[in-house]
């Protein structure tokens, strides 16, 4: 239904510099699919959605909707937009119109429906999103979750063939997220074609037929929810999915700055709310590993990874120029090794010279 090839979007910043947000986007959305777009903020997810219905003018590339090139000057973009509904983060309801009037205005003016027809359909749609009794209210009288459900109903009133959702729940109070997601889920079950930008990972996983991970201006990785969530192929995707935070230090030799390193660990743990107990443990393990176990036959690289999803912490000590395995060559009676083992859930050496300690 939608075909995107080599889409590029360059913004000009106020300072006059060029900012390439979308470098080379290629993707397809077929009828009946629910395609979710995920990725770090600022990677151009909104820009991509806005390019799809030309709210944003692409710099170059091809976007076809059912074979029609929408970037062609001769294409009537308002006709294309009518087929593509868009739901925004901030609802964009007409504040001075009642909820029902919000739903009937465009069908009457743009689709040429009679008031009776438009109101009948409007009430059906309000019923579907659970707002039948709010028809006469102004948007200001509704909660955020209700406003967003009304915005979805308004979008449906235009009988779109596809709906683009741009972070539909990110402006909502957490207690109202699920009512909006439930409506979107219902549409998915009915076979509505949708493209959803969202940070609600569990929802994205449940509802999507396909997921695009956007990063560095390209579709960095794409696949089914299982592929993206269970078995992401690229480290950046994996880190995003598991929300892995890392900090790295290179210790050149034995005389490294231990207290400087402790400070860095303390800051890292504080930033992710890990508390002083965890931070003390990480420092203790680091000291035993670096002062009692690592041979320092070259620099040692320490990487600390924290997964916000699993709450797991992994400390990796990588010995450059390692010639022999470290753990096998450490005395089983080594006090340092016993202490590290005692404070962690596992100590392994997946490859020669690299010791992983999991907490
Ligand atoms: P996302 O939705 O993934 O968070 P956006 O598409 O909103 O990302 O923005 C991507 C980048 O493009 C950001 O760095 C943003 O500042 C920049 N950007 C977005 N719109 C404009 C604009 N109209 N002019 C200049 N820069 C913009
Ligand atoms: Mg955005």
Query: What are the pLDDT digits (tens) for 318-351?
Result: 999 998 999 999 998 899 999 999 999 999 999 9
Q: Is the pLDDT of residue 207 over 90?
A: yes
Q: Is the pLDDT of residue 263 over 90?
A: yes
**pLDDT the model gives residue 354:** 96
- State what percent of residues in the chain have pLDDT above 70: 100
What is the position in ligand 1's atom list of the atom closest to the CA of 13?
Answer: 25
Instruction: Determine the average pLDDT of the residues in 14-29.
Output: 95
Q: Is the pLDDT of residue 79 over 90?
A: no
Q: How confident is the model at residue 45 (pLDDT cuts 50, 70, 90)?
A: very high
Please give the distance, rounded to the nearest whole angstrom, from the Cα atom of residue 131 to the centre of ligand 2.
27
Looking at domain 2-241, which of 3.40.50.970, 3.90.25.10, 3.40.50.300, 1.10.10.60 is its CATH number? 3.40.50.300
Instruction: Determine the average pLDDT of the residues in 298-325.
Output: 93
**pLDDT the model gives residue 5:** 97
67/341 Cα distance (integer angstroms): 62
DSSP codes joined into one string, 127-167: HHTT-GGGTTS-GGGS-HHHHHHHHHHHHHHT--SEEEEES
- State what percent of residues in the chain have pLDDT above 90: 86
10, with CB counted inside 10 A (0-12, 13-18, 19+), is: middle
pLDDT digits (tens, 9 = 90+) for 285-301: 999 999 999 999 999 99
Reply yes or no on domain 244-358 having CATH 3.30.565.10.
yes
Q: Which is nearest to 32 in space by CA: 167, 189, 155?
A: 189
Instruction: Determine the average pLDDT of the residues in 198-219.
Output: 94
333/350 Cα distance (integer angstroms): 22
**pLDDT the model gives residue 13:** 87
CB-based pocket (< 6 A), ligand 1: 11, 13, 19, 21, 41-47
**pLDDT the model gives residue 51:** 95
Instruction: Determine the average pLDDT of the residues in 235-242.
Output: 92
Please give the distance, rounded to the nearest whole angstrom, from the Cα atom of residue 108 to the centre of ligand 2.
31
* Chain centre to alpha carbon of residue 279: 28
**pLDDT the model gives residue 266:** 94
What is the position in ligand 1's atom list of the atom closest to the CA of 49?
Answer: 6
> Ligand 1 atom 14: the closest Cα is on which residue?
42
263/282 Cα distance (integer angstroms): 11
Calculated CA dihedral for residues 141, 144, 147, 153, nearest 10 degrees? -150
Enumerate residues 6+ apart whose C-beta is below 8 A from 320: 297, 298, 299, 300, 301, 353
Stretch(es) of the chain classified as CATH 3.40.50.300: 2-241
pLDDT digits (tens, 9 = 90+) for 115-146: 999 999 999 999 999 999 999 999 999 999 99
Q: Is the pLDDT of residue 310 over 90?
A: no
Q: What angle do CA 2, 44, 60 make, to 5 degrees?
A: 60
Q: How confident is the model at residue 198 (pLDDT cuts 50, 70, 90)?
A: very high
**pLDDT the model gives residue 251:** 96
- Ligand 2 ion: Cβ-proximal residues, 5 Å cutoff: 46
| Residue whose entry in the numeric block shows the structure tokens 């009676």 | 333
| Shortest-distance ligand to the CA of residue 12 | 1
**pLDDT the model gives residue 9:** 97
Supply 77's token pair: 């973009």
Please give the distance, rounded to the nearest whole angstrom, from the Cα atom of residue 317 to the centre of ligand 2.
37
Q: What angle do CA 323, 324, 325 make, to 5 degrees?
A: 135
348, with CB counted inside 10 A (0-12, 13-18, 19+), is: exposed
DSSP codes joined into one string, 2-51: EEEEEEEEEEEPTTS-EEEEEEEEEEEE-TT-EEEEE--TTSSHHHHHHH
Specify the higher pLDDT residue, 68 or 122.
122
What is the position in ligand 1's atom list of the atom closest to the CA of 50?
Answer: 6
Q: How confident is the model at residue 73 (pLDDT cuts 50, 70, 90)?
A: confident
What is the position in ligand 1's atom list of the atom closest to the CA of 197?
Answer: 2
Stretch(es) of the chain classified as CATH 3.30.565.10: 244-358
């Amino acid at each position: 239904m939608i075909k995107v090839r080599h889409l590029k979007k360059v913004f000009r910043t106020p300072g006059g510099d060029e900012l390439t947000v979308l470098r080379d986007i290629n993707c397809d959305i077929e009828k009946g699919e629910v395609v979710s777009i995920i990725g770090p903020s600022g990677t151009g997810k909104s820009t991509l959605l806005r390019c799809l219905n030309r709210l944003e003018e692409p710099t170059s590339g091809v976007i076809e909707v059912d074979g029609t090139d929408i970037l062609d000057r001769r294409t009537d973009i308002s006709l294309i937009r009518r087929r593509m509904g868009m739901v925004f983060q901030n609802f964009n309801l007409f504040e001075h119109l009642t909820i029902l009037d919000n739903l009937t205005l465009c069908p009457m003016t743009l689709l040429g429906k009679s008031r009776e027809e438009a109101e009948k359909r409007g009430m059906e749609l309000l019923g579907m999103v659970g707002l039948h009794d709010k028809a006469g209210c102004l948007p200001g009288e509704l909660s955020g979750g209700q406003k967003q459900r009304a915005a979805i109903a308004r979008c449906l009133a235009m009988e779109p063939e596809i709906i683009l959702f741009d972070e539909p729940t990110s402006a909502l109070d957490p207690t109202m997220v699920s009512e909006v997601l439930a409506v979107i889920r219902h549409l998915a079950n009915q076979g509505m074609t949708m493209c959803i930008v969202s940070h609600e990972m569990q929802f994205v996983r449940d509802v999507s037929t396909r997921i695009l991970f956007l990063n560095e201006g390209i579709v960095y990785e794409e696949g089914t929810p299982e592929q993206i969530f269970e078995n992401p192929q690229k480290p950046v995707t994996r880190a995003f999915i598991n929300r892995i935070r890392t900090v790295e230090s290179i210790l050149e030799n034995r005389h490294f700055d231990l207290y400087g390193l402790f400070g860095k660990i303390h800051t890292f743990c504080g930033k992710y709310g890990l508390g002083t107990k965890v931070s003390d443990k990480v420092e203790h393990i680091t000291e035993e590993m670096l002062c009692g176990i690592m041979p320092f036959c070259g620099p040692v690289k320490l990487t600390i990874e924290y997964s916000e999803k699993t709450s797991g912490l992994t400390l990796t000590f990588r010995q450059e120029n390692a010639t022999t395995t470290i753990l096998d060559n450490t005395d089983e009676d080594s006090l340092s090794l016993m202490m590290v083992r005692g404070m962690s859930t596992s100590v392994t050496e997946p490859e020669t010279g690299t010791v992983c300690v999991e907490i």
